[in-house]
Structure 1
Amino acid sequence: MGENFVLITGCSGGGESTLIDELRARGHHVVEEPGRRIVSEELEGDRRALPWVDPAAFARRAIEVALADRQAARALSGWVFFDRGLIDAASALDAVTGDAAVEMLCAAHPYHRRVFMAPPWPEIYATDGQRRHGFESGLAEYRRLVAALPALGYEAVTLPKTSVSARADFVLTTLSVDNR
């Protein structure tokens, strides 16, 4: 399980969600970013699990959402593209709390062996109501993921800084080579 689950992650504000939208438009199954969904819910609720209020609670909630997303996606065929996911949430929890259960949790719920990484791209980075952290914080997150992915047995594939259409072509071509 997990070979058709493709993780798209990287530097916050690097175009992951835009790429996910393009892949959806091309007819692929996609799973929205857990963090943005959680922030939206928390802004409407008690606001306790916001990343700028309680990063550990936010990361724990993101792990729960990522696991539920994976369970729901098991019934889907073909490629399923995840805008961030379990690895992001687990590595964030580890960074905040030192909870070393990351490796066991991620090993039990694998993604495709190639993980697509959006590199830091300050020219397109922007904050909004759900992304309040600055570029430097996103860069730290990116560095953490670059270190975590190979340690978890994944090959990190850097997305080119190009148009969203060309990025989608790159992802799909890379995956088609895996299926030969």
Structure 2
Amino acid sequence: MFTHRLPHGGAIVLSGGPGAGKTSLLQALSGLGHITVAESGRAVIRQQQACGGDALPWRDRQAFAAAMLDRDRRQYRRHCDVKNRSWRFFDRGVVDVLGYARLERLRESAAMRWAARRYRYAPEVLMLPPWPDIYRHDQERKQTLAEAERTFEVLWDTYLDQGYQPRLVPRGTIRERRDWVLSHLGLA
């Protein structure tokens, strides 16, 4: 468990496969006044769909990964390269892009590997497991549940490979998960 000392500026990553409840958990943390940072993948998809771009996971996965990495680096610099030392909760981090490249068997660019080493978060990454009961498709989430489960496994291994300590967030209501995170971090 963390103490009130803010590891890596209090930058906490919530990760896992799609449809596991990360965004809902982030919204619950934001509702209590915590700083939260939305995932880059959905923002890139929305932006690319709006402009008719090809950097989409169903068109050009390598370009999609590069666009996510660019956005993740900007998000990190915006929220972590500042003097403010309050807790920040990220819906995914730069390591997720490296995990995506591994999942999709894309070329792991030097920029991906460098960013994973340079932009560091708290050593413990909070991982939300696949959860069939809440998994839903939408305009941006087109993966099957099996793909979501595989994504979780690859991300878990990628975070381990990058020197992080993945920690499973138990299933439960949004409030139960929020309270677990806060208790686990010593913020309850």
Is the TM-score greater than 0.5?
Answer: yes
| Corresponding residue to 1:28 among 20, 34, 48 | 34
2:97 pairs with 1:89: yes
Alignment of structure 1 residues 16-165 onto 2, 5 Å: 16-74=22-80, 75=82, 76-95=84-103, 96-99=105-108, 101=110, 102-165=112-175
TM-score by length of 1: 0.92
Is 1:114–1:156's contact at 8 Å kept on the other side of the alignment? yes
In structure 2, the gaps of 5 or more residues are 1-6
Which runs of at least 4 in structure 1 moved beyond 6 Å after TM superposition? none
Q: Distance in 1 between matches of 2:43 and 2:166?
A: 25
1:49-88 Cα distance to aligned partner (Å, 9 max, x none): 0111111111111000000000110334311000112111
User: Cα distance, 1:100 vs. partner?
Assistant: 6.2
Distance of aligned partners of 1:171 and 1:12 in 2 relative to their CA distance in 1, 3 Å threshold: same
2:178 pairs with 1:172: no
CA RMSD of aligned residues (A): 1.7
In structure 1, the gaps of 5 or more residues are none
Using the TM superposition, name which of 1-10 and 110-119 deviates more. Answer: 1-10
User: Cα distance, 1:99 vs. partner?
Assistant: 1.5
User: Cα distance, 1:151 vs. partner?
Assistant: 1.4
Q: Between Structure 1 and Structure 2, how many residues are aligned?
A: 177
1:11-66 Cα distance to aligned partner (Å, 9 max, x none): 21000000000000010000001001111111101230011111111111100000
Using the TM superposition, name which of 71-80 and 40-49 deviates more. Answer: 71-80
Q: What letter corresponds to residue 99 of structure 1 in structure 2?
A: E
Identity of aligned residues (%): 27
Q: What letter corresponds to residue 93 of structure 2 in structure 1?
A: G
What SS does structure 2 have at the residue aligned with 1:51?
coil
Is 1:60–1:93's contact at 8 Å kept on the other side of the alignment? no
Q: Distance in 1 between matches of 2:36 and 2:12?
A: 9
What SS does structure 2 have at the residue aligned with 1:2?
helix
